[in-house]
Structure 1
């Protein structure tokens, strides 16, 4: 799938995951839209076709019980831009969608995430993202819960997580079991990592690298004043 962005690939993967969660197969969904049984398998794994036709997209989304935005790869295709352009603010190709996930990254005792299926999106100027050094990032937006990262991050802040940046030290979203945490990650000896809170009331947590899965680095935050 050459020249296809990571966000596009994620949208294809979401279709496959949603089908599995609903007990459906890609072959079955292909037949639902009047295509041959291998149609959606090739779409997901080979990127052919590049995008689903709008009637097919609508029928699949209705069957799965989700918005078409969840599985619409056109939203992430830099060559076509947003499928629903806002002409009053310039060409849709000048903007990039950052999906918001219904997950909370706990800055406290731990938060259990729901399915990683976007329910909304932030729409940012490509120029602004370029100036921030984020144009090529694989971004997702999630909400912070808890006070252990105050004053750096406050409960209710929205953070952008770049899944392309999982190595090195910095502030990351980390999965421990089923819980997501946002912490400063420090490398420790013997393949261990230390998770440090900005709030000194919370002691550091030291784990083996196998116990803590780094999801991505926090690269931007936003919140109410």
Structure 2
């Protein structure tokens, strides 16, 4: 019994590892199989449920581009995959990292991410965008640590409009450009510009808002804005 429990724990750990490599959250995968966002987190951390249902397991495995055997806690017959799915799985397992063709970018509510340390896709994502890995590579975003948030307010118009969705790359926190920054307990989207030594200037695109200059240690740079989208 002890060996079985150890194997089950390893399988759950592999699920979490493969999700991270794929850029997916456990909450997002839970929604993929029609479960509540905490379902797979409880499965991984607490072993509840003890086993995933076979249809759920197969759907997750197909999304990640892996064989169900990589993440199963009890043996299923994976020969029941249809031929096209078996080919996709085989191709994904031969690709670098074996993580499939899609990347899930978690969406974070801007107002909910205003508390200290709260900018965390695992904890507060409420939805996600799904993009092909090829497209991300073509636009120079392969390997980016992306989260999506919605712009609120008009301070960055016309560059960014209220309601736009923006991608924030948390791997890019240095240099000038449009960044998401935290000042106290509030998040802001601003143009970041170097100022006097030890100081930073935050500039709005909308001329109605005056630039703000602060000490560098008063501003936490969350990440650079690298993409935007919105309604026409």
Quick check: which one's strand share is greater? Answer: 1
**8 Å CA contact retained: 2:201, 2:213:** yes
Q: Distance in 1 between matches of 2:103 and 2:66?
A: 11
SS at match of 1:49: helix
**8 Å CA contact retained: 2:180, 2:189:** yes
Which runs of no fewer than 5 residues in structure 2 stay unpaired?
Answer: 17-25, 31-35, 45-59, 72-83, 93-99
Per-residue deviation, residues 75-127 of structure 1 (Å, max 9, x unmatched) = 9x97649x9xxx89x9581111001112249xxxxx94577421111000111
Q: Distance in 1 between matches of 2:42 and 2:207?
A: 42
1:174 aligned to 181, 191, 212, which one? 181
Which runs of no fewer than 5 residues in structure 1 stay unpaired?
Answer: 1-33, 106-110
Q: Deviating runs (4+, > 4 A) in structure 1? A: 69-75
Higher Rg = 2
Matched positions, count:
165
Which residue of 2 is the match for residue 222 of structure 1? 229
* TM norm structure 2: 0.59
SS at match of 1:124: strand
1:193 aligned to 187, 200, 207, which one? 200
Quick check: which one's helix share is greater? Answer: 2
Q: Distance in 2 between matches of 1:72 and 1:224?
A: 38
Which residue of 1 is the match for residue 144 of structure 2? 137
Which residue of 1 is the match for residue 20 of structure 2? none
* TM norm structure 1: 0.61
Q: Distance in 1 between matches of 2:165 and 2:42?
A: 23
**8 Å CA contact retained: 1:70, 1:118:** no
Q: Distance in 2 between matches of 1:167 and 1:70?
A: 32
